[in-house]
Amino acid sequence: MGSIRQTYIKSSVDTLLRQYPNEFGTDFNENKDKVEKLADIQTKEVRNRLAGYVTRKMASKGRKR
């Protein structure tokens, strides 16, 4: 079973994807750097969670097409 993401992770990622739709891709390390640059993140753990969720959403978006 998959892990359940917290609401602030989901809402933050949705906001980032709305504001910067062409900035993110399916590579976790690139997304990690972009999240750190574009969002005001306090900890490494939250940054990695956001980047992981962005990567997952972008990968599923690619499969739907």
Average pLDDT in the 35-47 region? 94
Q: Give the phi and the psi of residue 54 in degrees, each rounded to 5.
A: -60, -45
Predicted pLDDT of residue 4: 78
Q: What is the rounded radius of gyration, in angstroms, for the C-alpha atoms of the chain?
A: 11
- For the domain spanning 7-64, the CATH number is 1.10.60.20
pTM of the model: 0.86
pLDDT tens digits for range 16-40: 999 998 999 999 999 999 999 999 9
Vertex 16, ends 6 and 37: CA angle to 5°?
A: 105
Predicted pLDDT of residue 63: 67
Predicted pLDDT of residue 62: 75
Domain positions in the chain: 7-64
